[in-house]
Each structure stands twice: as structure tokens, then as C-alpha cells.
Structure 1
Amino acid sequence: MKKTIWKNPNNFNELEVNENCLIDNRTGEQFIKDENEIIQFIQKEEIDGSNKKSTDFYNSFAPFYEIGQKIWYSFFGGEKKARMDYLNYLDIKDNMTVLEVSIGTAANVKYLTKNADYYGIDISMGQLLQSVKNKNKYKLPITLCYANAESLPFKDNSFDVVYHIGGINLFNDKQKAIYEMVRVAKKDAKIMICDETEKVAQKYEKLPYFGKPFKNREKIVPPINLLPENVENIKTMEIRKGTLYIITCNKK
């Protein structure tokens, strides 16, 4: 664990590395790395609202998620091609420090350079446990955190690239999550946000089981208006026949 990157998500105090935990020396609060080497920044009971609704779904589906993704991606030329549709916009280079917000099963990192330093956070423990399996199987250089995108456990200006793929449409507070992504990005860092369009959500919500997270939601609009003022080079596009939107920008 890097000694200079961590902060207490509850009060912004700096955290020190102490054996297998991070400690807030001002309050004595500790954030433990569990037996799966996932650093615990939140408790299950703290997750509420839309976040709980989507997390419950992803936890229940986690063991089958990658199989479902492979089947879905087979309609788009296979998994690698489908993931590179959006990963190509990241420009990740060797030795960069990279954060994936809502890392899911860590499947994206499989297709990126292995010579970068990756961090991944998620509020679905089911998905994080699948990430552990991929991390070990593919020897992925990832530090995994059980944490909330709306209160990231990292200091300002920590990452060369910050990206999020899938999930922000269902966040409790989209703007807070976006501000957090920008906050932890370094000056000039690339930031990317990608998720399904309204076109797809309308189809999903009609499905049994898979449609649960999309019931009673707000209409999906790419959250360009939620970007803070300290970003530039803002670009937005749709890919895969209008099924995904992508927003990219750089921190000023």
C-alpha cells in the first residue's frame, strides 16, 4: 500500500500505513485489509437508496456476471473488442497510477498495460470477490477497496487516469461522485465516465430480474452538466449503435 495516497473518507484526515491496515492517527480509526486483501472503508449497513438497490442486484448476480458479460459482448465482436471500444479512450501508459471507480470484476484491467499501478473501488462486495479471482488468475497489479464512489479514500491529485464504466446512472449522488473523481485526479489527468444510454435502460427495465435496478429511475442523460468547473477538453459521444455514452475530459 502506498504511504502517500490515502485519506480517511469520513473526515479527510491523512491515513498512515500500519501493517495490514490504514490508520487515522488523529482519531484512532482503522481501515483493515481483509483476508482477500480488500481494504475495508465502508460497512454494508451504510449503503442505502439507489446504491443499495443496485448493490443488492450486483451481489446476487456476481458469480455469473462475467459469463453474462461474455454472452452480451459476443454480439459486439467478442469481449476484448467490446471492452476496447471504450478503453481505447483512456491512453494509459506504463508507470501511471490509475483509478477505476466501480471496478466490478476487474475485467477491464485484463486488457490494459500490466506496467501501471491500478486501484479499484466498488460498493458490491460480491463483485470485489470476483475481482480477487481475476487479480490472482491474471496477476493484475490492483489494490482493491470496498468503498463508496461518493466519498473516495484518496488524497487530492493522486491519479494520472480516473475512469468509471457502468453504474453511475444508478448512483445516489452522481454529482458528488463526479466531483470526487475529479478531486483525486492529477492536473491534466484524463477522466472518463461511461454508462448505458436511456435507449438501453428502457429495454432492460422490461426484463424480469435484470430489470430490477432500472425500475422507477430518472431518465438517463449523460451527466455533462454535473462536471465541475475545473475540467476542460470535454467531449461526449455515443458508441455501439447508441447503447453507451462516453464523457472524457482533463482536469485543469
Structure 2
Amino acid sequence: MGRVPGALARHNSMEALAQWLESLRRRSGMSWDQMARTAVDRGLPVTRSTLYRASRGETLPKWQTVQAFTRVCRGDEHLAKRLWTSADRHKAASGGGTPHIMVMAPQFITEPWQLVHAMKGMCRENGNPTLRELERRAYIDVENKVSLLPKSTVGAVLQGRMPGKDLLLDFARYCGNVPDDRLKDWEDAWERAHAFRKGEECPMVRDIPTVPTVPTVPTVPTRGAPRPFASGTPFGPQPSRWGNRQWGTRGRLRAG
């Protein structure tokens, strides 16, 4: 499994990740050349120099590198993902990358830029796969390299272009591993962003029923007790059995 980094490394998540990877290598007893050969034998696209740099802690390695390192050394892949995610957030917070901005859930997305930002966040949460890797995951014709996620199109979208609905749903499926029964949330998000782009009323806002306004009762200063409620309501003033008579200043009844 590898030793979890101690307290001295916890102040820097990137160093913690690097120390954990190095502990994996030492436990395995393999040299860097042996690790590289093992990676090739298992079909993992990683080189000796890439593995070595990952354990140095000077830069944040890609998730694919950390994943390959962990598999070669037979480490805990879930712990590796947790350490890598923490290091990625540390890098962004310290100015070493794009500032970490909260990504909206699809239920709250109403504008195109929020949709694109959510797609970028989906990439970050799933190891920042390359455009080529996304294209390969979504192949529908491997021989002719026909993909539902062409790298040129996905690249343009991640640079800020509004995605098509089908591309968004395929991106959520192949990049975000969103199950089919949750894709409706992303489809609705696309509809709202599309309506905003065309200057139409947002479907989410249009579907909210309007609340009828309650007419206010003007308050007129009167002699006697204030009347905060309208006459005739359960809490309003009720007709007196004395008719229109009122109490005088000396406690006597007088005609109204």
C-alpha cells in the first residue's frame, strides 16, 4: 500500500504525493528501469523519466502517470487518487494553476460560460485526461478513428465555445462517468444555457409559478384602537352589539 506521508509533508500536498510514490517504489524493490519495463509490459503509456519526475515533487504529475506508478508498484489506487486530487487543489490555490472556482451543479447552470466551466471542472475531478484520450474513449469506429468526442471540437469547447447538446452529453458520459439516469440534469442545463444565448426566457425561470400579490389594506389613523387587519376578516374588528355607539371620554356611551 505504501506509507502515508507524515505530518512534516502534510503542509505541501505535492510533496506528500511525491513521498508516497517514492515509498511505493522502495517497498517494491524495483529500479527505475525495471518499473519502466513493467509499465510497458502492462500497456501503461509511461516512460522511465516520467516515473522518476513524479517522485521528485517538483511539479504535479498527470493523474495517468500517478495511476501507472501505483499499478506498477501494486499500491492503493484509491489512496493515490485522493493524494493526487489534494495536490492538484494545492497547486491551484498556490497560484501554480487555474484558480479553483466552485463548479456549479448542472441543476443550477443557466449561462453558457457556467456550462463550459462545469465541463472543465469535470476534467479536473477525473484526472485531467488529454483530448486524445477523450477522443479514444468515445470511439464508435476504431478502424477509421471516428469518435463522438473529436479532440479539435472538444478543445474549442474547453476554450470557451458553447458545446452542442450531444457533445455535452457524450462528454459527461465518457469524461465525467455520469450514469445515463443522471444525464437529464445536463440536458436541462444545456437547454437553459442555449435559451440564455438566444436571449429567450430561461426554462427554469419560466416554469416557476408566479405568486399572486395580496392587496394591502391602507391604514387610516382613527380615534381609538388601531386597525391593522381589514374589516370582515377573522382577525379584523367585528360589529359591536352597541351599533355605532362609542365610549366617551368619561366612560359614558354616546351615539355615533
TM class, shorter-length: under 0.3
TM-score (norm 1): 0.21
Point out the structure with the larger strand share: 1
TM-score w.r.t. structure 2 length?
Answer: 0.21
* Structure whose CA Rg is larger: 2
Higher helix share: 2
Higher relative contact order (CA 8 A, sep 6+): 1
